Amino acid sequence: MHTPSFTGAKVFDGAIKQTPEDFIVEEISSSGRVSVAEKGYYHKALGKLKLKGKRKKYLIFDAQKRGISTFCLCDKVAKLFGVHHDKVSYSGLKDDVAITCQQICVEDPKTLDVQLSNGDFFIKSPKWAEKKLSIGKLRGNRFHIVIRNISESPKCVLPAMEKFAKLSSEGFPNYYGPQRFGEGREVANKVGKYFMDKKYKRAMLTYLTTPSKTEGTALSAARIDLKRALSNGTKLKRFPKEGFIENLMIRALENNKRNYETAFMALPNDIKYFFICSYESQLFNSMISKRIKTLKKSANKPHKGDVLIKGIPSTLMVGTKSKFSSGPQGRIEKQVMKKERISFEDFLLPHAKGIKCYGKRRQIFSIPQDVKVISVCSDKYNLGKTAATISFSLDTGCYATTFLGQIIAGLLEVVE
- Domain range for 351 is 176-366
Residue 2's pLDDT band, with cuts at 50, 70 and 90, is: very low
Q: How confident is the model at residue 1 (pLDDT cuts 50, 70, 90)?
A: very low
d(C-alpha 294, C-alpha 272), whole Å: 34
Lowest mean pLDDT among 8-17, 59-68, 310-319, 355-364: 8-17
On the question of pLDDT at 226 being above 60, the answer is: yes
pLDDT tens digits along 252-289: 999 999 999 999 999 999 999 999 999 999 999 999 99
**Which of 342, 326, 394 has its CA nearest to residue 366?**
394
In a domain, 153, yes or no: no
Rounded-to-integer distance, Cα 160 and Cα 306, Å: 33
pLDDT, tens only, 12-64: 899 999 999 999 999 999 999 999 999 876 667 789 999 999 999 999 999 99
What count of other Cβ atoms lies within 10 Å of the Cβ of residue 192?
23
Is 295 within 8 Å of 303 (Cβ atoms)? yes
Is 45 strand, coil or helix?
coil
The average pLDDT across 300-326 equals 96
CATH code, domain carrying 104 = 3.30.2350.20
Question: Is residue 396 domain-resident?
Answer: no
Q: What pLDDT sits at residue 169?
A: 87
Please report how the helices 200-209 and 217-232 are oriented relative to each other, as an axis angle in degrees rounded to 10.
140
Domain match, 341 and 233 both: yes
Total length of the chain? 416
Q: What is the pLDDT of residue 334?
A: 97
Q: Classify residue 214: in a domain, yes or no.
A: yes
Q: What confidence tier does 11 reach under pLDDT thresholds 50, 70, 90?
A: confident
Report, as an integer, the average pLDDT of 190-210: 96
pTM here? 0.87
* Residue 176 confidence (pLDDT) above 80: yes
Exposure string for 303-316, b = 16+ CB within 10 A, e = fewer:
eeebbeeeebbbbb
- Do 93 and 225 reside in the same domain of the chain? no
Does one domain contain both 109 and 229?
no
Q: Do both 119 and 209 map to the same domain?
A: no
Mean pLDDT estimate for the chain:
92
* Final residue belonging to a domain, choices 321, 342, 366: 366
Higher pLDDT, 185 or 246: 246
Looking at the structure, tell me whether residues 125 and 185 fall in a common domain. no
* Measured distance CA(361)–CA(288) in Å, rounded: 12
The total domain count for the chain is 2
